[in-house]
Structure 1
Amino acid sequence: MTTPIVECVPNFSEGRNKETIDAIAEAITGTDGVTLLDVDPGSSTNRTVYTFVGTPDGVVNAALNAAIIGRQKIDMTKHKGEHPRLGAMDVCPFIPVRNVTIEDCIACATKLAAALSKTLSVPVYMYGAAAKKEYRKTVPQIRSGEYEGLQTKILQKEWAPDYGPSTWVPEWGATMVGVRDFLIAYNINLLSTKEQAHRIALNIRETGRGEESPGRLKAVQGIGWWLDEANLAQVSLNLLNYKVTPIHKAYEEVCKDANELNVAVVGSEIVGLVPLDSILQAAEFYIKKEKLFVLEEDQKVCLALSRLGLKDFNPKKRIIEYCLVENNNSDSLLKLSAEKFIRVVGARTSAPGGGSVSAYVGALGAGLGTMVGLMTFGKKQWDAFDSTMRKLIPPLYDAMNEIMGMVDADTNAFNRYMEALKLPKSTAEENKVRDDEIEKGLLEAIDVPLNLARKINTLWPILQELAKIANVQTGSDLQVGVRCLTVGVWGAYYNVIINLKQLKNEVMKQKLIEEVNECIDVAQASSDSILSILQLRI
């Protein structure tokens, strides 16, 4: 099973004292089961954001270890900064990344809150998905009045902390521990006054200027402030749900208001890490807006960073998927050289076998189709087909990437089926569990190759159109690609059929037999038609 990964992003109210900032980072890196991904201090805000990932127990322990150091080294009675704050460890959210649920993260938050109150004797409020009271579910609700107002606020019955003492701890304040989805802390730089930046923030943040004057963007918090170290103002935004309000939407709206105020936008910055798809969203927006043609992921990332003015953003260190070392899984068949892959296939083992090879060959077929498209696109003699090629190439490229993932998926499905066969069968209960797991394993082992056939069969209309107009010098490449894709479907067919023999659900079996037979008919007829077109042109 894939290791469960939780992200933790504690914000400490210290952004100027390097010794303290480094000591907290060392407390995190010295904890087993976690990887510190980013440390982002801000002098004007006097705040540092730490981002780390790890196992559920690991991130809880690391957050506690960091808080212990923060308790020793941060004195809130002396703290001043542009960023609103409630305490030394101001907020500490847990975010599900991989193979974990919101409920798992709530358990992490609860463990940390209990440990903070017990170990440090400090008040803790729960927020987000971990909130215990509806009227204090968000950070702004809890932080209202900030550190200075907490001394009297904490004595009110309705503002008693969820954990820890209802007493004023002046050196610490209070901590907010919560659970949320990815929050993107996004700042847009302006050559303006602090007041102008704040006016723009009020225009676009969801709460706006109050209930009677809401802002334009949903799931957005915002404030305007001044950065002495950069000699500029910022519209500082929290994008609470980047799928509701994506980065590029926030940026474009700020640019719109800045233009109306005749002030210059001079780039932006992201604090901490972001999911890859949040950057790709921006890329797709600008590709469509500017009628561009960009296929490669790294080029899309480059485009998004350029258009958003993210000059100092290093994608290898700031995009969470790129930071997870396990993402470069050395066990992946796709990480093997071509020679090594062939030798692994040729070894005396059941996997990788025909299913993974079928996917590998299918991916090569889609790759050849993509190549033929790219060898036609952009050449002067085929300018007349420019708009058509822009439509034909992307689905072939996307299919190539999707099918590549099936190389490992097929072997993994087979291995899980084999594990089910090894389950104990000494009792009736064990036999039932074993039979259920075997049936699930079979369905997965069927589903992977069947999805391969389905995906390949979506490509035939595209390839037929490509065959009619593609660079004739690449005709043989497309012929090979079509044959590879046909082999991919036949390989999927053989793998489905052999696994169907053991399936107990007869209704499901008959339905799948009919579908896979139809896949073969479609693939054979389509490939014959495309090859005939190419034969006439070559």
Structure 2
Amino acid sequence: MASGSLGRRLVACLLNVSEARRKDLVESVARAAVYDARGARREETTVLNIFNDHDYNRSVITIVASIDSIREAVLSACEKACGLIDMRNHTGVHPCMGAVDLIPIYPLGEEVAVEDCAKEARAVAEGLTERVPGSSVFLFGWADAPLQRGLAQRRRDMGWFKKTADTRLIRPDVGPQPQKRYGLTGVGASPYVMNCNVTVDTRDIAAGRDIAAAIRESAPGGLPGVQVLALPHEGAVEIACNVESVKGSRAAAGQPWPSFSISGQTYCHAPASLITERVAELAGRRGVGTKGTALVGFTPAECRGLAEGALSRGIAEFWRERRRVHM
């Protein structure tokens, strides 16, 4: 651990909001995480990155804070987002159900257990429904005690993958029946989950779905920890992967997967290079190529390292400074 991180118990929240086409709005949500209502900077809190996708009309805001600071940072950002985003007017290719669609909280080192993040996630769920009357929450991962159902399963439970979910059938874990304005928010905790998107140079969504099905964790020969959708994107098809951390250590072609430790337990995750290679191979069998790979945010190690550097320098809006700051 770097000397500047001594005493810090860092966690990350990759806040997913259902807006990307109004970048000023999204940045105001990010600023709400790092500044209070008086404009004072929140201690031990930074926003490392904002990833906007116009076609998806979805943004991912990477908030990192100490475990003692994350709740207020996230709730303030959510409150701002719910005040500015109206799901009755939302359009976008990516499935979503809430103005704030997803609030996952991840530990960034041995100093914080996943159970600590789960406790904060449940507090965020309660706090959101109190501060934004009419908002509704489902829980996933370690926050979904005692079942610990994963995000993919909970999304299926809530109808997230349907073109039009019937909100009358949804039973939130916290809050009232979902209202059209705010929709439904998923709140949870787990070991770190990356987002890795590979673009295939075709408009054939059926081919994209075949590729997605082949690399999904549940498929024979699929990649452990990989949950995936195929979505139309900028005139092509994007293989959009949630890359969950899995217990233990693994290797492919003799190369170990990136690993980290939480509470004495080793976790690892499929590297983006392997996902890209597998997608390219499957696309090549169909006579098409790939156009590139995008990481939405960072690997766990990158997230921790950048956060330590940003916090040691007192940088709140790191997403603005990143190109100029050498860590």
TM-score (norm. length: structure 1): 0.48
Within 5 Å, give how 1:61-76 maps onto structure 2. Answer: 61-76=72-87
Query: 1:302-335, CA deviations, whole angstroms, 9 ceiling, x for partnerless residues?
Result: xxxxxxxxxxxxxxxxx224412448979xxxxx
Deviation at 1:215, TM superposition (A): 5.9
Q: Where does residue 290 of structure 2 map in the other structure? A: 265
Equivalent-residue separation in structure 2 for 1:141 and 1:77 (angstroms): 25
The one-letter amino acid paired with 1:106 is A
Equivalent-residue separation in structure 2 for 1:86 and 1:215 (angstroms): 31
1:125 aligns to 2:138 (yes or no): yes
1:42 aligns to 2:53 (yes or no): yes
The one-letter amino acid paired with 2:10 is I
> Is the contact made by 1:96 and 1:181 (CA closer than 8 Å) also made in structure 2?
yes
Q: Where does residue 84 of structure 1 map in the other structure? A: 95
Deviation at 1:58, TM superposition (A): 1.6
- RMSD over aligned CA atoms reads 2.2
Q: Where does residue 324 of structure 1 map in the other structure? A: 307
Q: State the secondary structure of the residue aligned to 1:186.
A: strand
Residues 81 and 207 of structure 1, relative CA distance in 2, 3 Å threshold: farther
Q: Where does residue 222 of structure 2 map in the other structure? A: 216
Equivalent-residue separation in structure 2 for 1:324 and 1:79 (angstroms): 32
Q: State the secondary structure of the residue aligned to 1:324.
A: helix
Q: Where does residue 168 of structure 1 map in the other structure? A: 178
Residues 320 and 108 of structure 1, relative CA distance in 2, 3 Å threshold: same
Which residue among 3, 7, 20 is the counterpart of 2:8? 3
> Is the contact made by 1:274 and 1:320 (CA closer than 8 Å) also made in structure 2?
yes
Instruction: Tell me which protein shows more strand as a share of its residues.
Output: 2
Q: Where does residue 280 of structure 2 map in the other structure? A: 255
Query: 1:375-422, CA deviations, whole angstroms, 9 ceiling, x for partnerless residues?
Result: xxxxxxxxxxxxxxxxxxxxxxxxxxxxxxxxxxxxxxxxxxxxxxxx
Q: Where does residue 34 of structure 2 map in the other structure? A: 29
Residue correspondences, number: 274
Deviation at 1:133, TM superposition (A): 5.7
Structure 1: runs of 5+ lacking an equivalent: 155-159, 209-213, 277-318, 331-538
1:180 aligns to 2:190 (yes or no): yes
Deviation at 1:245, TM superposition (A): 2.9
Residues 246 and 84 of structure 1, relative CA distance in 2, 3 Å threshold: same
Q: Where does residue 225 of structure 1 map in the other structure? A: 231
Deviation at 1:142, TM superposition (A): 2.5
Within 5 Å, give how 1:53-452 maps onto structure 2. Answer: 53-98=64-109, 99-121=111-133, 122-132=135-145, 134=147, 137-144=149-156, 145-146=159-160, 148-154=164-170, 160-165=171-176, 167-193=177-203, 194-208=205-219, 214=220, 216-228=222-234, 231-241=235-245, 243=268, 245-276=270-301, 319-326=302-309
Q: Where does residue 341 of structure 1 map in the other structure? A: none
Deviation at 1:25, TM superposition (A): 1.3
The one-letter amino acid paired with 2:293 is S
Deviation at 1:76, TM superposition (A): 0.9
> Is the contact made by 2:142 and 2:190 (CA closer than 8 Å) also made in structure 1?
yes
Q: Which runs of structure 1 show a deviation greater than 6 angstroms over 4 or more consecutive aligned residues?
A: 327-330
Query: 1:485-505, CA deviations, whole angstroms, 9 ceiling, x for partnerless residues?
Result: xxxxxxxxxxxxxxxxxxxxx
Q: Where does residue 19 of structure 2 map in the other structure? A: 14
Deviation at 1:39, TM superposition (A): 0.5
> Is the contact made by 2:108 and 2:304 (CA closer than 8 Å) also made in structure 1?
no
Query: 1:54-111, CA deviations, whole angstroms, 9 ceiling, x for partnerless residues?
Result: 1123211111111111111111112121212121111101111132111211121121
Residues 37 and 191 of structure 1, relative CA distance in 2, 3 Å threshold: same
Equivalent-residue separation in structure 2 for 1:176 and 1:328 (angstroms): 28
> Is the contact made by 1:60 and 1:108 (CA closer than 8 Å) also made in structure 2?
yes
Equivalent-residue separation in structure 2 for 1:182 and 1:264 (angstroms): 30
Query: 1:348-400, CA deviations, whole angstroms, 9 ceiling, x for partnerless residues?
Result: xxxxxxxxxxxxxxxxxxxxxxxxxxxxxxxxxxxxxxxxxxxxxxxxxxxxx
Equivalent-residue separation in structure 2 for 1:127 and 1:42 (angstroms): 24
Structure 2: runs of 5+ lacking an equivalent: 1-5, 37-41, 246-257, 259-267, 314-327
Equivalent-residue separation in structure 1 for 2:189 and 2:172 (angstroms): 17
The one-letter amino acid paired with 1:67 is C
> Is the contact made by 1:202 and 1:215 (CA closer than 8 Å) also made in structure 2?
no
Deviation at 1:168, TM superposition (A): 3.0
> Is the contact made by 2:20 and 2:26 (CA closer than 8 Å) also made in structure 1?
yes
Q: State the secondary structure of the residue aligned to 2:101.
A: strand
Q: State the secondary structure of the residue aligned to 2:188.
A: strand
Query: 1:245-265, CA deviations, whole angstroms, 9 ceiling, x for partnerless residues?
Result: 332222221111011111011
Residues 203 and 91 of structure 1, relative CA distance in 2, 3 Å threshold: same
Q: RCO greater where, 1 or 2, for CA within 8 Å and sep 6 or more?
A: 2
Higher CA-based Rg: 1
Equivalent-residue separation in structure 2 for 1:150 and 1:20 (angstroms): 28
Query: 1:452-492, CA deviations, whole angstroms, 9 ceiling, x for partnerless residues?
Result: xxxxxxxxxxxxxxxxxxxxxxxxxxxxxxxxxxxxxxxxx
> Is the contact made by 2:12 and 2:107 (CA closer than 8 Å) also made in structure 1?
yes
Q: State the secondary structure of the residue aligned to 1:254.
A: helix
Equivalent-residue separation in structure 1 for 2:294 and 2:12 (angstroms): 20
Q: State the secondary structure of the residue aligned to 1:40.
A: strand
Residues 143 and 117 of structure 1, relative CA distance in 2, 3 Å threshold: same
TM-score (norm. length: structure 2): 0.78
Instruction: Tell me which protein shows more helix as a share of its residues.
Output: 1
Equivalent-residue separation in structure 1 for 2:103 and 2:182 (angstroms): 14
Equivalent-residue separation in structure 1 for 2:140 and 2:311 (angstroms): 34
> Is the contact made by 1:86 and 1:150 (CA closer than 8 Å) also made in structure 2?
no
Equivalent-residue separation in structure 2 for 1:141 and 1:222 (angstroms): 13
Equivalent-residue separation in structure 1 for 2:280 and 2:291 (angstroms): 10
Deviation at 1:35, TM superposition (A): 0.5
